[in-house]
Every structure is written in C-alpha cells, then in structure tokens.
Structure 1
Amino acid sequence: MVRLLRTALVAVLVACVTPVAAAPAAAALPTTGPRFVDIAGSGVTLKANVVAPSAAGRYPAIVFPSSWGLNDLEYLAQARVLAGRGYVVVSYTPRGWWFSGGEIDTAGPKDMADLSKVLDWTIANTATDPARIGAAGISYGAGLSLLGAAHDPRIRAVTMMSGWTDLVYSLFGDNTRHGQSAGLLSLAAQLLGNPGPDLNGRLADFNAGTNIEEVKAWARVRSAASYVDALNANRPAVLVANAWGDSFFPPNQLADLYNRLTVPKRLELRPGDHAIAEFTGILGLPNDAWTSLYRWFDQYLAGVDTGIAGEPPVVAVPHNAAAESYASWNAFGGTPRRLGLGAIRALDGTGPLGGSPTNGWSKALPTDLDTTANGGVVLLTNGVAAFTGERPKIWLPTVDRWRAGVWAGERPLSVRRIRGVPRVHLELRDAAARGTAVVYLYDLDLFGTARLVTHAPVTWLGTTASVDVALSATAYDVPAGHALTLVVDTVDPLYYDENAPGGSVTVAGGSYVDVPLK
C-alpha cells in the first residue's frame, strides 16, 4: 500500500511540475533531461535525476537533496530553469525516502557520506567543473546542503531555504518540546519513508519526554551550528532564506549561525511559514527567494557579477511594510524599550504594559486550561497569513482573564517599528519545579482585534524564581493608535507542556518585556 501511495504521488508531482517547466525563459540554453539515474551512495542506491545544458563544455553544478517527505522530482521545474542558465543540476532522494535505499538518517553521518558520493558521481558522469559545485534545497534538502558544505569542501556555494541550523532549538526551543511540528515530520516519515529504529526511537523518546539529553546529543550531530568552524575553514558562500513564522525551524537560530559565519553570507527573512516563501518557485513561477538563489549561484559559481556581493547582506521583508536591507543582523535589530507589567485591574481583567516594572502584584494562571490566544496550526496559520497579508488574529475580549494574564500598553500617535527579537522576563512566585508558560505579543486595535506579532513558549525544568524567553524574531509595524499587548497562558496546541494538571503558574511583579524598536 505504501509503495502504491508513493507511485501515485510521483505521478502527481510530475503532473504538477512538468507543464510549467516545459516553457523555460526565451534566452535559456537548450537542455537535456530529465535523465533518471541510480547513484551509488554509501552502501545504498539513491534515486536521482539530471538536467543539464546540451551543448558541449564544462559547467558549474548544483546538487539538490529533496525535502522531507518528497523526492528528486521536487525540483524539476527549477532544474530546467537552472540548466537553461548554464548549470548541471543533479537532484536526488536522500536515503530512506521513497525508492532510495536504506533508512532515514535525518541528516546524520550516513547522509553526509551519501552527499559526497553524489558529488563524486556528478563529477564523473556529467559535464561538471569540479571547482564550481553548489548545493541547495528546501527544508530537509536545505539542512543537508549546509551540513554537506561543512563536511565536503568541494561545495563552494550553498542556498539554504527554510532549513535549520540548530536541531536542538528546533525541537526544544526554550526547553519546550515542539510537538505539533515533530508530529507532522513523524507522520511523513511513516507514510513515505523508512524511518528505521534510530529515528523511531528518537521520536518515541521525544514524545514521551524521556532520554532527552540523548535526543539532544543526536540532534547536535545533525546541526550546522555544531560545525561553524568547519564551515568557516571551507569557506563556501552561504545564502540563508527563511520565514518569520517558520513553525518547524523558528528564525532565531538562523541569526545566531549567521553572526558566527565569516564566509561570504546573506540572510533573507520573509513573511510566511515553513517552505511557504519558496513554494511558488517549486512550480517554476516567479519567486523572490529563487531569484536570490539564481543571483547567488551566478555570483559564486558561474563567475557572473550580479551585484549581490556588494549589497547589504541582511534582507528583511516585514509583515506589513516594504522590504528593508541592513549591513548586519545587529543593524537590523531595534533599540530595546522596556515595558513593565503592572497589576491586573479588577474592572476589565487587564493590566498596564509600559514604564518601569512594578512590584506588589501577582497573577495566577491555571496550568491545564487553554485560551483563544495561541500560535495557530503548524504550516497553515502563518502560511495563509503570507498569502493574505493578514496576521493571525483574535478578538481580545474572548481571552479568558481567569486562564490568562493580559497586559495592554498605551496608544501612541506614531508608528512603532518592531525589528528583532522581543525578550520577556517573568518573575514567578512559588513555581513548581517543572512548568511551561506561553507568551504572545499582539497588536491591539481600537475595536479589540489583536493581531499576533510574535510568540514563544518557555519551560523550566528545575526550581526557579524567574524565566526569560526570547520570542521569535520579527519585523512588524504597529500602526499609530494601536496598543502593544502581552498575553501569557500555559497551554498551546503547538507545544508539549511540563505543567502538572490542576496546578497553576503565578506571574508576579518585576516582570517586563523588552521590545526592539527602530
């Protein structure tokens, strides 16, 4: 049954991409393929396809590992475009997926050995110039490409779209297990791959909250953040593109790695969720992220001066403003403005947000009761927002004040430009040894509609008097007359929590949020 499902999905993928790919740009070079091939990986056979310029000569090459749950047909439309631009394009299905052999290695050592074997095959069997090889992909393919550049110095340029750099952060951001995203990855592996005992065991431990340190050690081996020294030594040119609302790989980890790289580098962040910003490009349609990929590889593989090397390397497309460019990630970030949380008013169940933090108050939050404040549904909520331009929203009066703490700020007459990572400090009173809170920053209009700016969970795993949480990086303009509003509760379907049933988390005076404003 699974094999029949895979075969049917192959047919669907071919039907989706072939018509678009059949009409390359007028100035494109004649191309061959796709030619479907078997590549000998490290002890397994990998399914792949090749599209290349048909004229004799040596060309730069780009290797595309497919995304989690997809296969080498994923990039057919873009392979035709890139071959028409003068590249040999080899797309392959990583081990354990679809018809490639072996078990899923989740970007582990076997996957790295396979990628090197794919490079060997590409050099030996195509018109590739071995000094001009790049790697690129979306999601799983993105992570494999960047990790590959750390392990194999033949990769001279990388474009990583909607990928991860720190798998520990992706799974356990602020010590909180990201259950919904991991569950979707697990489902795809069961349906379309061969997860084997290694991945199944890690997922079982993750879901049960057992052997966590072992799972984290396993994840570190599969994180580019663990190999920054190797990346800097190999010196590939690295382009990282992602979305503010990526529910699989939140963007803070990307900024951390970007700051540590000393290679030619570029960071682009756009509205959307995982792989949404690049999706239309998969169909061969015009797409900003893929345009950047063309320019990046033309610059660093084809030897064409596209101008991208001289541009400000940090590009931020805010949720509700025009694209902006900055000389560095630090230049993008605004100046933190501290907004203190005040005592909750009995009249409306809302406290003030602003000024210096005040003491002498507390707010108890039940641990097993949700509210209308939430981060949405993995992929869907922020994905829809990217296409509609409308942020996820709630009507603030529907947030149960017994279940959540709500603090609303002033309504200035000027726009406030949030750029960077808002940081929240919560003082806790008599906190249990283990617990979780979820913090949401909203833009509240005059009619009670609150649009989600950013959010994050935070979990403590030992006795503590306070917690600090870095919300997901964002770029958002709060309109004049709107109030920044902070909501804190203890349940969100996106995450596992560590709260005891029937308990409470008490937030107390001295709490605040630092909002980065330009």
Structure 2
Amino acid sequence: MGHHRKALRTTAVGAVSASLVAGGVLGLAPTAQATGHSVRFVDIRGDGGTVLKANVVTPAGADATHRHPLIVLPTAWGFPQAQYLAQAQKLADSGYVVVGYNVRGFWQSGGEIEVAGPRDVADASEVVDWALAHTPADPRRIGMAGVSYGAGISLLAAAHDPRIRAVASLSGWADLIGSIYSGRTQHTQAAALLHTVGTVAGRESAETRRMFSDFLSGNLAREQEMIAWGRKRSAGTYVDRINKNGTAVLLAGAWGDTVFPPNQSADFYEKLTGPKRLELRPGDHATPELTGLFGLPNDVWTDTGRWFDRYLKGEDNGIDREQPVRLKSRSTGGYEGYPDWKSVAATTRKVALAGTTTLHTNVDSGADGGIVFLSSILDQVAQLPPVASIPLLPRRWAAVWQSEKYVTAQHIRGTAGLHTTVTPTEESGTLVAYLYDVGPLGLGKLVSNAPYTFHGRTPGKPFGLDLELYSTAYDVPAGHRLALVVDTVDPLYLEHNPSGARLTFSSPANDPSYVSIPLREQ
C-alpha cells in the first residue's frame, strides 16, 4: 500500500509540474496590441554578463521627453518570459514602462538556478539599470512585482536596492525555511514539485541540486547549512533594510498555499513599518492570481495596479485609506477588512484535549492535508477541502478530540494553536495536527493542519509542545463541532518516526492540553 500511495503522489506531482510548464508555454502568449503600446523582446546582461531574456512594453507615444514609472516583473519558477505579457500590456496602457524578464537558469536565459540567491538579486538591479538606460523610465518611480519565485526575488531586490519604491509580492515568501521546513518538517510534495519543474524547465546549480537532495532525503547532518542557505534567500532576514528604504509592500497569498503557507507572510507583514497591505484569499499556490495572467478580470491584479498607481504615480485612489488587512473567507467568499493582523481574531476560545492517548506511528490514519495544489484548488472553486470520516479514523493511529456541538456559527479567523504534552518512546518523531469541521454525519472538512518534528528527546520523558496551525478564514456552521486529530504520516510531509515508535499525549492538571481557536466577533 505504501509503495502504491507513493506512486500516486509522484504521478500527481508530475502531472501538476507538467501542467504548470505547459500553461506557461501555451497559455500566456501576447495579447493583441489594441491600444498602441509597443512590445519588444530584448536580451539584458545580468550579473556577471549572464544573458536574461526579457520583454519590454512601452506606453503608446512614449519618448525620451516624458518619463514613465517603471515596473519590473521577474518570472515565476519554471515559467517563460511571456508569463506577464497580458498584465504588462494593461499596465503599459495605464502609463507604465514594464520590463518582464526570465530569471536566470530557466528556459532561454543563461546561468543556473540559484533559488533567489545573490546573483538573482543582482540581476534585478541590472534589469533596472538597463531599463533606465534604454527606456523612458523614471528613476524616481520604480516598482517590482511577481508571482511565486518572482515575488520572492522582488522582495529581496527591494531590500538590497533602495531605488525600488513599491513591491507587489503575489504568492511569494518572506521566510523560505518557515515555508517549506515549518515545524522542522520537510514539506516533501512542495519541494519535489519545485525540483521537478526546475529540472524540466531549467538548469539547477550544483548547490541547488545538493540542497534539494539533502532536503528530500531528510539529511540532518546538513540541517544548519540548509537553514543558513534559506535565511540568505528570505526577505524577512532583511526586513530592517526594507523598512529603512520605506518601500511600499503589498503581500497577497492564499489560505491553502501548500508551497508558501500564509503564516510567514502574516509574520513578515507585522514587522513592516512602511506602507503595507496584506491580502489572503481561498486557493493554493499562485491560484488566486492565475486568471489575471490570461488577461481576465482578477482581484489580485486589480489591487496590484491600484497599489502601484498610489505609490509610483501618486494617485489618490484611496487604497491607503482602506483597512490594510483584507481577507476573503473560504466559506462565504466575502471580503473583510481589519486594521492589522492582530485584530483578525477578536477572541480566542480553547477546546480542552482531556485524557491520555497513546498513538502508534508509521501508518497513515486517513487524516491528510491533501495533495499539493489540487486539494486547495478544489476548496477555492467548489468549497471542497480534504475530508475524513472522523468516527472511522482508527484510534490506534489517530488521536481524536472533539468539541461540543456549536449552537451558533463559529467564524474562525487567524491562527489556531495546539498546546499539549508529548511522551515519546524514541528520541525522534513526527506528528501532524489537523483541525476539522465535523458535520452531523461525522464527515470532517479540513480547516487547517501543520506538521511538527522533534529530535534529540529523551525516550520516556514528557515535553511540552506548542504548534501553530496554518492560518485560515473558515466558518463552522451551527450544529457542527470541531475535531482536533493527530497522526504521524501525511503525504505532504517527510516523517521521522522510527519503526514501532509510539507517542503518548497527556493533559497534566498543572498544564492542561488544548487547541486555541481564533474567532471573529459575531
């Protein structure tokens, strides 16, 4: 069964990888030039002379006598340079010079994939230099934006290049390690997907190949090296520089992002001191903004344009007077505004996790976080998250606690947290916590989840565990209850449970176990 499940997971990852690459090649072609803007394809010399394939979209009638604000768009992981042409043409029609470029190591650009390393950051500044020298771009009004990989590079570039005055980070990351190694657990499906796409559509550097290999194999001997490598590639490491530069930062992401979960973006948002905005919507990695890449109406790209209009053009369009935290519920689809992230959850209610439960490891109980991309897309388009029959979960491999039935709807907003005491039989182990919305028939819809791995613990000695689940916005209907489920195997993550290991969860009188539920005011 285990080998069969692994084969299915590999097939799913491969299929998603192929669809992403195919979508980049076939679906994102230039649109018709109906309004007179010009599009040209150029070669730009990046760091060390590496050739970066790029396209330049210039407003109609632009000439050297009138300078226009500049927007630079680095491509997403595995996508060709045509990725942003639909949006670039819209931006050009509203007065921007737009330069989209294929990041190094992918498709026809030179160099190797270095995962937003120093050369990628230097490339961004070289593209800005080129644009200022070869287009009617205004050196005082420069912005950057991108999806996924392009988002991460944009934030890092803003930290290192003070000329960049505004950034729109769409489905990006601010903490690379906090994204794919949260809870000290390898997010293997996400990493395997990135590695596969990098192999198909690009040329990974030797360092990148080694990092993926060590990560996917769970090589703890190189853990500190991997963490240092990730921190160098995280905008959160340089947040003081971004604040010093006064960069206006828009962060947009998805509740179900299986590559870059929303928690790290919310943490980064709270540390920013300049103009800022946080938007979170239903969906998975890069799916909320996907339709905009085809030129279709899209809220993410609409707000991106408004953000640049305010902070590059100086237009008084009101975006700076709106509530800066803008959330769209997975349940209702309506937008909600908050003054800051801390205000999202007005109250917190605890569900007690009473008693003592011993869990056998190494077997998937049936409680899972789903499949990278596919599961959260279903939640986005049809409100169909991963499900599990809570009464049928085998208690040998799944620990289950349930709340009472709720008389009124519970509006979960923000970050749920697990606090418990664990006694392991081995020095290492992995567990995954799931929060379910359980209906009258016992069918649980996944609200949130998160993994946790420990090493170096003394067998038989209890330790306290505090785990933040992935942030979300979900409404539990009246008559339903919440269930907290813990097991030890999930296809999304790499487990570190020795064969035959057991985990005991207890609730000492002086330190009771609970799951804290963040709730919006009724």
TM-score with structure 2 setting the length: 0.91
Partner residue of 1:376 out of 339, 354, 370:
370
Aligned to 1:38: 43
* Runs of 4 or more consecutive aligned structure 1 residues displaced over 6 Å after TM superposition: 8-12
Q: How far did 1:16 drift?
A: 2.3
Distance 1:226 1:262, change over 3 A: same
Amino acid at match of 1:443: D
C-alpha contact (below 8 Å) 1:39/1:48 kept by paired residues: yes
Distance 1:12 1:485, change over 3 A: closer
Write the mapping of 1:108-507 to structure 2, written as runs, cut at 5 A: 108-210=117-219, 211-321=222-332, 322-343=334-355, 362-463=356-457, 465-507=463-505
Per-residue CA distance 1:14-54 (angstroms, 9 max, x = gap): 652347x3276xxxx53001x11000001211000111112
CA distance in 1, matches of 2:186, 2:437: 27
Distance 1:23 1:394, change over 3 A: farther
CA distance in 1, matches of 2:351, 2:443: 21
Residue 123 of structure 1: SS of its match in structure 2? helix
Q: How far did 1:12 drift?
A: 6.7
CA distance in 1, matches of 2:26, 2:102: 18
Distance 1:314 1:400, change over 3 A: same
Aligned to 2:57: 51
Number of residue equivalences? 488
Residue 429 of structure 1: SS of its match in structure 2? strand
CA distance in 2, matches of 1:47, 1:139: 19
Distance 1:187 1:9, change over 3 A: closer
CA distance in 1, matches of 2:21, 2:325: 37
C-alpha contact (below 8 Å) 1:17/1:76 kept by paired residues: yes
Residue 309 of structure 1: SS of its match in structure 2? helix
CA distance in 1, matches of 2:491, 2:26: 35
Residue 326 of structure 2: SS of its match in structure 1? strand
Per-residue CA distance 1:50-80 (angstroms, 9 max, x = gap): 1111213321111000000112111111111
C-alpha contact (below 8 Å) 1:17/1:284 kept by paired residues: no
C-alpha contact (below 8 Å) 2:29/2:82 kept by paired residues: no
Q: How far did 1:13 drift?
A: 4.5
Aligned to 1:350: none
Amino acid at match of 1:480: A
C-alpha contact (below 8 Å) 2:253/2:280 kept by paired residues: yes
C-alpha contact (below 8 Å) 2:329/2:473 kept by paired residues: yes
Deviates more, 1:80-89 or 1:222-231: 80-89
CA distance in 2, matches of 1:340, 1:11: 48
2:513 equivalent to 1:511: yes
Residue 191 of structure 2: SS of its match in structure 1? helix
C-alpha contact (below 8 Å) 2:352/2:513 kept by paired residues: yes
Per-residue CA distance 1:335-386 (angstroms, 9 max, x = gap): 221211123xxxxxxxxxxxxxxxxxx2121110002110000111001210
Residue 103 of structure 2: SS of its match in structure 1? coil
Q: How far did 1:397 drift?
A: 2.9
C-alpha contact (below 8 Å) 1:372/1:398 kept by paired residues: no
Residue 78 of structure 2: SS of its match in structure 1? coil
CA distance in 1, matches of 2:367, 2:387: 9
Q: How far did 1:205 drift?
A: 1.4
Structure 1 regions of 5+ residues with no counterpart? 1-7, 344-361
C-alpha contact (below 8 Å) 1:441/1:452 kept by paired residues: yes
CA distance in 2, matches of 1:249, 1:384: 18
CA distance in 1, matches of 2:159, 2:424: 46
C-alpha contact (below 8 Å) 1:431/1:465 kept by paired residues: no
2:9 equivalent to 1:22: no
Q: How far did 1:419 drift?
A: 1.1
Residue 47 of structure 2: SS of its match in structure 1? coil
Amino acid at match of 2:307: W
CA distance in 1, matches of 2:237, 2:382: 37
Amino acid at match of 1:148: A
Residue 474 of structure 2: SS of its match in structure 1? strand
Distance 1:431 1:259, change over 3 A: farther
Q: How far did 1:462 drift?
A: 2.4
CA distance in 2, matches of 1:431, 1:290: 51
Structure 2 regions of 5+ residues with no counterpart? 1-18
Partner residue of 1:98 out of 107, 115, 118:
107
Distance 1:10 1:163, change over 3 A: closer
The percent identity for this pair of structures is 48
Partner residue of 1:75 out of 79, 84, 88:
84
CA distance in 2, matches of 1:288, 1:119: 27
C-alpha contact (below 8 Å) 2:60/2:93 kept by paired residues: no
Residue 414 of structure 1: SS of its match in structure 2? coil
CA RMSD for the aligned pairs? 1.7
CA distance in 2, matches of 1:23, 1:451: 46
CA distance in 2, matches of 1:15, 1:368: 42
Q: How far did 1:505 drift?
A: 1.3
Deviates more, 1:134-143 or 1:422-431: 422-431
Q: How far did 1:467 drift?
A: 1.3
Amino acid at match of 1:306: N
CA distance in 2, matches of 1:270, 1:397: 31
Amino acid at match of 1:168: I
Q: How far did 1:134 drift?
A: 0.4
